[in-house]
Amino acid sequence: MEDHQDQEYIKPRWRFKAFSGEGQKLGRILDVRDFIVQSRPEFATLDFILVTSFPNKELTDESLTLQEADILNTVLLQQLK
């Protein structure tokens, strides 16, 4: 187990808003990945995938919008490869 006692605490940001206002497009799966990397820069160098919680479905086409991927109101999980 690693000791992270000396690292600065960053309060987790737990909500991704796919809709940014009237007339705006829904975010893409790639936007979710970018949000994760921006929030936690250490994941920029790690290989990870996004999957739905149930039923498990790997989100491989990152160009799809959340609506096109049919994952609105869905819990997404990040899994390290």
pLDDT tens-digit profile of 40-51?
Answer: 899 999 999 999
Rounded CA-CA distance 39/11 in Å is: 10
Q: What is the pLDDT of residues 3-59, one digit of tens each?
A: 767 777 666 666 666 555 554 555 889 988 988 898 889 999 999 999 998 888 999
Sequential DSSP letters for 19-79? --STTPPPPBHHHHHHHHHHH-GGGGSS-EEEEESSS--B---TTSBTTTTT-TT--EEEE
Looking at domain 29-80, its CATH class is alpha beta
Whether pTM exceeds 0.75 = no
Q: Are 69 and 27 in contact (CB under 8 A)?
A: no
